[in-house]
C-alpha cells in the first residue's frame, strides 16, 4: 500500500536525497488523488496538476516502510508529529482511519488529520482510530467571497466547526489563508470568531498554483501578511485594545510598541502556526525569498525587519 509523502518529508525520511536547509519537524502525508471539491485556490481537483498541493510535490512510497521510518525519526527526536492531509473523495475518511490505526500500532507519535467532512460521526471515528487533533479548514476569511472560492456556505461551515469544538475541546483546528481577496476587517472578524470557539488556527499565505482558478491571482504583500500575523497574536492573547479598524483597514494603537517590547519571544509571531511541531518549510514560498512563515526561529535581525515591515515608523529598530 502506497501513500503520498511531501518532498521535504521524503527527504527527511531518507527516501530521496535533496538539499534541505530546514527539514520538516512533522511528517506530512496525503491520502487520495483527485479531489471532488473545487476550491478556487487549489489545483488538486484538476487532473493536469499531477501530485501537487500548494507548491509541494507528493510522490508516493510504500506506507509500511514510511511508518517504520517515521517511528525511528520520532524515537530519535527528529520528528514531532505526523500530519495526514486528505482530498475529498468517496470513503476517504475510512481510508484515513485505517492509516491512522497502522501508525498508532507502531508509535505514540502525535497525529493530526485535515479533513473536509464536518460530520461529528466521521470526526469521532478518526479520533477513535488514534488521532490527537483534527483540522476542519475554513481557508477563506471572507463571508462575501466564501461561496465563490470554497463553493460552500460560510455560516454552515462555522456552525459545524463550533459544534465540533464544543464536542472535542482543544482538539479542533482550522486553516485560514491570507490573501484570497478578503478585507483586513474580514480577516480580523474571522480570526476573532474562530478564536472565540477555542479552535487552533494555522495561518497560511495564498500561493498561486498552476491549473487552479486563481492561478493568475497575486500572493499577498509581505506587509499585509505581517500585519495579520501580529493581529492573530493579539486576538489569541486577548488584546483587542491594541488594534482598531477604520474603513476596513487594521490600525495598531500606540500600545503596540510597549506590548511587543515586553514580549519575550517576538519571533514566534512570525513562525509557522498550526499544530505543535508544524513548520511546513517552503509550503508558501520559494527558497531564497523572505518567508511568510519562518520554519525555524528567526534571527533578531529578521524579527526587527518583520516588525518594521508590519508597523512602519511605529517600530524603531534597536539593533
Q: Does residue 51 register a pLDDT over 70?
A: no
Residue 316 has pLDDT above 70, yes or no: no
Q: Identify the bridge partners of residue 174 per DSSP, sorted by sequence position.
A: 201
pLDDT digits (tens, 9 = 90+) for 151-205: 999 999 999 999 999 999 999 999 999 999 999 999 999 999 999 999 999 999 9
**Are 34 and 50 within 8 A, CB to CB?**
no
**What pLDDT, on the 0 to 100 scale, is given for residue 313?**
77
Mean pLDDT of the chain: 91
Q: 306-316 as b/e, with b when 16 or more CB fall inside 10 Å? A: bbbbbbeeebe
Q: What are the DSSP E strand ranges found in 96-158?
A: 111-114, 133-135
The pLDDT tens digits for 257-291 are 889 988 889 999 999 999 999 999 888 887 788 99
Q: What distance in Å separates the CA atoms of residue 114 and residue 85, rounded to the nearest whole number?
A: 5
Q: In what order do the strands lie in the sheet with 60-62?
A: 60-62, 2-5, 26-31, 81-86, 111-114, 133-135, 172-178, 200-205
Closest by alpha carbon to 84, among 20, 138, 127? 127
Percentage of residues in the chain with pLDDT exceeding 70?
95
pLDDT digits (tens, 9 = 90+) for 21-41: 788 999 999 998 878 888 899
Distance of CA 312 to the CA centre of its chain: 27
Give residues with Cβ within 8 angstroms of 167, minimum separation 6. Answer: 120, 123
Selection from 31, 42, 93 nearest residue 66 by Cα: 31
For the chain, the helix, strand and coil percentages under 3-state DSSP, each to the nearest 5: 40, 15, 45
- Output the pLDDT for position 224: 97
69 pLDDT band (50/70/90 cuts)? very high
Say how far residue 172 (Cα) sits from the centre of its chain.
13
Give the integer Cα–Cα distance in Å for 271 and 283.
Answer: 13
Direct distance between the N- and C-terminal alpha carbons of the chain, in angstroms, rounded to an integer: 53
- What three-state secondary structure class fits 251? strand
Name the band, by pLDDT with cuts 50, 70 and 90, for residue 319: very low
The H-assigned helical ranges of 197-299 are 222-236, 255-261
Amino acid at each position: 500500500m502506497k501513500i503520498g509523502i511531501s518532498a521535504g518529508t521524503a527527504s527527511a525520511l531518507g527516501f530521496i536525497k535533496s538539499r534541505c536547509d530546514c527539514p520538516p519537524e512533522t511528517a506530512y502525508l496525503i491520502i487520495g488523488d483527485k479531489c471532488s471539491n473545487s476550491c478556487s485556490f487549489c489545483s488538486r481537483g484538476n487532473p493536469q496538476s499531477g501530485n501537487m498541493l500548494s507548491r509541494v510535490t507528493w510522490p508516493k512510497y510504500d506506507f509500511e516502510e514510511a511508518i517504520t521510518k517515521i517511528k525511528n525519526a520520532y524515537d530519535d527526536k527528529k520528528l514531532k508529529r505526523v500530519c495526514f492531509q486528505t482530498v475529498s473523495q468517496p470513503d476517504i475518511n475510512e481510508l484515513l482511519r485505517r492509516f491512522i490505526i497502522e501508525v498508532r500500532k507502531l508509535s505514540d507519535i502525535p497525529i493530526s488529520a485535515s479533513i473536509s467532512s464536518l460530520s461529528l460521526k466521521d470526526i469521532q471515528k478518526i479520533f477513535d482510530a488514534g488521532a490527537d487533533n483534527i483540522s476542519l479548514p475554513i481557508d477563506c476569511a471572507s463571508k462575501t467571497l466564501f461561496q465563490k472560492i470554497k463553493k460552500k456556505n460560510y455560516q454552515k461551515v462555522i456552525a459545524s466547526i463550533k459544534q465540533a469544538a464544543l464536542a472535542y475541546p482543544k482538539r479542533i483546528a482550522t486553516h485560514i489563508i491570507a490573501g484570497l481577496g478578503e478585507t483586513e476587517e474580514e480577516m480580523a472578524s474571522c480570526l476573532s470568531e474562530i478564536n472565540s470557539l477555542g479552535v487552533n488556527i494555522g495561518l497560511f499565505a495564498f500561493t498561486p498554483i498552476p491549473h487552479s482558478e486563481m492561478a493568475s491571482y497575486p500572493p499577498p504583500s509581505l506587509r499585509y501578511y505581517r500585519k495579520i500575523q501580529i493581529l492573530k497574536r493579539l486576538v489569541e492573547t486577548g488584546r483587542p485594545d491594541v488594534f482598531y479598524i477604520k474603513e476596513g483597514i487594521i490600525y495598531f494603537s500606540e500600545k503596540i510598541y510597549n506590548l511587543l517590547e515586553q514580549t519575550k519571544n517576538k519571533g514566534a509571531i512570525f513562525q509557522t502556526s498550526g499544530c505543535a511541531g508544524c513548520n511546513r518549510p517552503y509550503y508558501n514560498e520559494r527558497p531564497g525569498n523572505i518567508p511568510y512563515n519562518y520554519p525555524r526561529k528567526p534571527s533578531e535581525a529578521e524579527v526587527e525587519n518583520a516588525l518594521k515591515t508590519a508597523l512602519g515608523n511605529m517600530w524603531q529598530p534597536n539593533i
